[in-house]
Chains A and B, each alone.
Chain A
Amino acid sequence: MKIIACIKQVPDSEAKVKAENGQVSWGESPLVINPFDEYAVEGALQLKEANSGTVTALCIGPESAKEALKHALAMGADEAILVSDAALHALDTQGAARVLAAAINKIGGADIVTFGRQTLDDGSGLAAAQTARILGWPLLGLVGHMEIKDGGVRVSRVIEEGRQIVSAKMPAVLSIVQSIGEPRYPSFMGIRKASKASIPVWSLSDLGITAPATFVTRGELITPPSHEVVCEIIQGDGPEQIAQTLADKILAEKVL
């Protein structure tokens, strides 16, 4: 079966992100594969192992985003494709979904396309649903377990209320969450293979489309108020006394 894992490159979670001259700055911190998308790659690899096939990692971004694709290759993806075009600088989520859908079509479609739940930077969590809607494929969101059965895909969705078991015909779009299992570490062989891989770069004209309209635009960046608080350590003579002091302090703060 043919599986495409869609990924994005983002600043590392530990990065000190701040606003600088109206732009987002993350200093010297490295750019990494979006941590949520590691589950998309892991899920794709699990599907490949259970059903045989190929995994293609797909990413929109600048040339430097090849590093995120190399991480997917090192994890075990068979090939990687970068969509990069100067005309994509103001892409919003629905625009990104239109570009991804065009790239998926150019690849020649797939049986399963996987996404992570959301990205660490923008955090919208719209890409899987929007890409599915544009392609006209079913969306199976927040997948924690999956199996291919009778030419379809059957999954367990992790929802607030428990688990929902749903199935659909393929092709289908899946967003995958951490219940699928820890993303595997790149192997030594994988890293070697990835470092040698040549990653094709597709422009919008390669996809046969023009830049999609942008509907959502950023006004300004605001630095949120600092969360540094001074912690008062409650002490006392034994747990009961500490608990009573703490309960009184909490009640005095009127947060209850």
Chain B
Amino acid sequence: MKTFVYIDHFKGEVQQASWETLGVAKSFGSASAVIVGSGLEALTKAAFEFGADEVLIAEDPALMDYRVEAFASTLSTLASSRMPDLILFPTTSRTRELAAMTAIDLNSGVLVDLTGLSRNGDTLVATRPIYEGKLNETVVCSAKPVIATLRARAFPRPAQDKSKSGTATKVEAKTDSPVTVEGYEVAEQAVSVTDASIIVSGGRGVSNNPSLTAPAGMDDKQAEIWRAQQGFKLIGELATVLGGAVGASRAAVDGGYIPYAHQVGQTGKVVAPDLYIACGISGAIQHIVGIRSAKMVVAVNKDAEAPIFKVARYGVIGDLFAIVPALTAAFKKRLGK
């Protein structure tokens, strides 16, 4: 089976789940990594090291910024001439759009956000969560090429072999797009909670530290946000010691405590970390559906009745402002940091 693997990146910064996707492609046969953009040397090198049989690059300065129309045209032109059996993407907000348009161009269907993909003779049978993970379904695509996006952390990541190398094959870049990129307001730090193996998350409770007095001159809302930001510093310190990412509940995002990119749950991101530590998060169903795939949940909350404890393996009923720093110190000592 011949598979294209789209390597998703933001200005050369790779989405790590791309390598998991490459590993799945390898298990079916030959895997061609497809990289679209500008300045792709480092990505090309990494694609060979993670096991790509060939690396196809569509490189053009006009593709520096992701614009879905141009990227989709590049992919579908390439697929029309090389006829892969399967095109795989890691699931990201970019690739949902990209896979969607490529499927229209190639007159095929998309199997989205898969947690399983297996081969049964010539048929690929996919498994995916539906109804917010309340059910799983198996799906097949009857058209060719089969187009699919794979959920981050649902498949093993292949080992990187630094001794592997190769020469990229240049392919045609399509640059036409009706969209003009005017600029970015880039976050201080890119957040990829979907890729994280450990997430420490904060909720509304993060703003409720009674021992903090906000600087003079702030109104109530400003003081609340200020207090919450002090709280998220504690959460960030624990995340740093554990090598994890910072997440948040919708209440924290709506409160203006932290940007939307951190939001976990129904209207935010669905995550699948090995460890999810929920601090000051009550655990509304809309949050719980985002963490169903977490291997282990730990909850810290003042309210013993909070529903988050129903999905947690370990819980602490107490003040997060005392527990979280103590936990940071305890892990520092145990992990030798």
Contact = CB atoms under 8 A, between A and B. Distances in A.
A111 interface: no
B164 interface: no
B315 A233 contact: yes
Interface in A163-203: 163-169, 172, 177-179
Interface residues of B, number: 95
Contacts of B170: none
Contacts, number: 270
A97 B97 CA distance: 13
Contact of A178 (B113, B260, B315, B319): B260
A227 interface: yes
A121 to B, nearest CB: 6
A215 B93 contact: no
Interface string B320-332: 0011011101110
A139 B180 contact: no
Given A35-B266, A130-B101, A256-B198, A222 B127 contact: yes
B110 A124 contact: yes
B82 interface: no
Contacts of B180: 166-168
- Report whether over half of chain A's contact residues are helix, strand or loop; otherwise say mixed: mixed
Interface in B296-337: 296-299, 309-319, 322-323, 325-327, 329-331, 334-335
A231 B315 contact: yes
A123 B191 CA distance: 22
A120 to B, nearest CB: 6
Contact of B110 (A13, A14, A35, A126): A126
B41 interface: no
B132 A166 contact: no
Interface string A140-175: 111010000000001010111111111111001000
Interface in B228-269: 242, 259-261, 266-267
B179 interface: yes
A19 interface: yes
A130 to B, nearest CB: 5
Nearest to A101: B104
Interface in B122-174: 125, 127, 129-143
A217 B125 CA distance: 10
A163 B140 contact: no
A165 B183 contact: yes
B186 interface: yes
16 contacts: A17-B134, A94-B110, A133-B72, A159-B93, A161-B186, A162-B186, A162-B187, A163-B185, A166-B179, A179-B260, A216-B111, A221-B137, A233-B314, A233-B317, A239-B325, A242-B318
Given A94-B104, A133-B105, A154-B182, 20 more contacts: A13-B132, A17-B135, A94-B110, A122-B130, A126-B99, A126-B112, A137-B178, A159-B93, A159-B94, A160-B92, A161-B184, A161-B190, A164-B181, A216-B142, A218-B138, A229-B312, A243-B323, A243-B326, A246-B323, A248-B334
Interface of A: 11, 13-14, 16-19, 24, 35-36, 92-94, 97, 117-118, 120-126, 128-130, 132-134, 137-142, 144, 154, 156, 158-169, 172, 177-179, 213-224, 227-229, 231-234, 239-240, 242-244, 246-251, 253, 255-256
